[in-house]
Structure 1
Amino acid sequence: MRVLVADDDPGSLLVARAAVERSGHDCMTAADGGEAWALFQAHRPDVVVTDRMMPVMDGLELCRAIRAEEPELYTYIVLLTSQGSRDDVLSGLEAGADDYVTKPLDPFVLHTRLLVALRITTLHADLAHYRRVLSEQARTDPLTGLHNRLKLSEDLEQLHARSARHGEEYSVALCDVDNFKSYNDLYGHQAGDLALRAVASTLAATARRTDGVYRFGGEEFLLVLPRQGVIGARALVERALCAVRDLAIPHAGDPSGQLGFSAGVSGFSAGHVVSAEMLLNEADAALYAAKAAGRNQVMLAP
């Protein structure tokens, strides 16, 4: 673990540092609360061992500042105090400390506190990992591996706000696999799933690194293209359509004889300032127009 020890008494600081290093942990030290706070922000230690009474920022203020940060990983705080009254202990715990040790410091006692700190910080690290995994799973389509509607709503809201604030354009493209119901009827749902994965992979490979590709639902996919006008967006989607055709997935239920898709594109710009919801509606209308015009093509919203 990385342990930060803060104490304005040089003797106590040396004893604490020696005890931490004998316990097998990395140690950094601070001679006052202000220095300790700067080191905490720079290095995010796993454990902070802090004296209660220090200049610049005392131990209670340091505890409150650390807890106010609410970092992803938990910092275990041990308060050193020569005042062992119940009120002092309670005020320390209320400020955010996890445990306390009375001075003069007993290295064995600090060693036992560090054992507890290791268990607690390891548990919190595991929980943080599982939260990240669950958060990613909640935003990922299990069939295609693309982002889903939840992630789309988050990303599109941020992009729209940023584009409106900075006067930047962006486009969205709604793509729908043509005659997909008949594909499932002819080849079965397992083949349909494989076809959707192939289309998803092709869209993701064609998109730029900064673009977002989402499964919108069923056989529909949505591309979100930051800093891209509708002309450039249409060209990108047409390249994706050509790439899907190049897969040469047979489809007897489509006039072309192979799997393809139709798409509608709309864009946010200085001359077309509308809500993100309106852009999606416009892309959907353009997609409908592409379907009505014979499918297997890309149409721009008016």
Structure 2
Amino acid sequence: MVLVADDDPGSLLVAQAAVERSGHSCLTASDGDEAWALFLEHQPDVVVTDWMMPGLDGLALCRAIRARTTDLYTYIVLLTSQGSRDDVLAGLEAGADDYVTKPLDPFVLHTRLLVARRVTTLHADLAHYRTMLSHQARTDPLTGLSNRLKLTEDLQQLHARSLRYGEDYCLAMCDVDNFKRYNDIYGHQAGDLALQAVGAALATVARASDGVYRYGGEEFLLVLPRETPQGAKEMLERALQAVQTLNITHSGDPTGHLTLSAGIAAFADYHDEADNVLREADAALYAAKAAGRNRVAAAP
């Protein structure tokens, strides 16, 4: 989509016709303020703007567009009857990518739009790859769950919100019982499959608002926003049952099957950092292990 802004009706019609003949849909504005409103509403790929207009002039419009932080790039062509070097430099410094002198030659504008399409397509591809890389950097490759990096980001935001608004949240540290022995008996490939199955079981028990993360090795962490300790305990008991329902044979475990232990800690206003809640959840997990495994323990 191309947005054309020009207060000269004749020049606007010529530009619109050239844009549409080039195969683009076209929005038109007769002043800078209207152009800015249309830009915010439609996010066009290309803006062709006159330099001198009522409201925002072309340079101000360029600066306003460039000041926006977005992955999508807008290619800007500045129309000007002033073709001096200083004017061209001022336009480029304001954020324009190219300029066309008036009176407008439709062929010249057509060539600028061809270049614009290549540039905006490249930026769109780069934005897509950045999004993919960002997702991969925050995803555990084995289980498909979020990883420690994503946990750190999410937990910091949740803790800050809880400190500000007094909202409850709980953390649950989970550990697959006797997992080293499982790997020794059945091999690491079977261990990987078991971790995938456990991660999927935890994800099915969690609410849409909860976060399930692979914390490391055979450990998983559940982040439970706006949850009470009692509600967290009931949820983790369901999670342990879901893992037992997998019915994964483990001859090195007293139960004969793969099981899970969990430790729960709840946010309180004396927790100035999320790491303090995390340490309490970890300590509760050790308490569950010491009490015989395959159970849920809560921090005092």
TM-score bracket for this pair, using the shorter chain length: over 0.9
Aligned partners of 1:70, 1:283: CA distance in 2, in Å? 38
| Secondary structure of 2:209 counterpart | coil
Alignment: residue pair count: 300
Aligned mates of 1:6, 1:225 — CA distance in 2 = 50
Query: For 1:20 and 1:110, how far apart are their aligned partners in 2?
Result: 8
1:229 is displaced (CA, Å) by 1.1
Structure 2 length-normalised TM: 0.99
8 Å contact from structure 2 (residues 174, 260) kept in 1: yes
Tell me, in whole angstroms, the C-alpha distance in 1 between the residues paired with 2:85 and 2:71.
31
What is the alpha-carbon distance in structure 2 between the residues aligned to residue 96 and residue 177 of structure 1?
55
Amino acid at match of 1:33: G
Distance 2:13 2:161 in 1: 51
| 1:84 match: secondary structure | coil
The 5-angstrom pairing of residues 1-302 of structure 1 reads 2-269=1-268, 273-302=271-300
SS, match of residue 44 in structure 2: coil
Q: Note the C-alpha offset of 1:62.
A: 0.4
- Show structure 1 runs of 4+ deviating over 3 A: none
Counterpart-to-counterpart distance in 2, 1:274 and 1:171: 15
How far did residue 274 of structure 1 move?
4.1
Once residues 184 and 101 of structure 1 are traced to their aligned partners in structure 2, the CA distance between those partners, rounded to angstroms, is 68
Deviation digits for residues 90-121 of structure 1 (CA, Å, limit 9, x no counterpart): 00000000000000100000000000000000
Q: Which deviations, in whole Å up to 9, do the C-alpha atoms of 1:114-160 show, x marking residues without a partner?
A: 00000000000000000000000000000000000000000001111
1:158 alignment partner, SS class: helix
Give me the CA root mean square deviation. 0.8
- Letter of the 1:284 counterpart: D
* Cα distance in 1 between the residues matched to 2:113 and 2:162: 49
CA contact (8 A) 1:20 1:26 kept: yes
Deviation of 1:269 (Å): 3.7
Native 8 Å contact 1:268 1:274 kept in 2: no
2:76 maps to a residue whose letter is I
In structure 2, what residue type is equivalent to 1:288? Y
Question: Following TM superposition, by how much is the alpha carbon of 1:166 offset from its aligned partner in structure 2, in angstroms?
Answer: 1.3
Q: Which moved more, 1:164-173 or 1:135-144?
A: 164-173
Unaligned segments of structure 2, at least 5 residues: none
Question: Aligned with 1:48: secondary structure?
Answer: strand
Task: Structure 1: state its 5+ residue gaps.
Answer: none
Distance 1:284 1:71 in 2: 39
Instruction: Give secondary structure in 2 for the equivalent of 1:28.
Output: strand
* CA offset digits 1:24-67 (Å, max 9, x no partner): 10100111111111111111100000001111110000000100
Contact 1:229 1:269 in 2 (8 A): no
Given residue 122 of structure 1, which amino acid in structure 2 is its aligned partner? T
Percent identity over the alignment is: 74
Deviation of the 1:231 alpha carbon: 0.9
Letter in 2 for 1:56: G
Q: One-letter code of the match for 1:297?
A: R
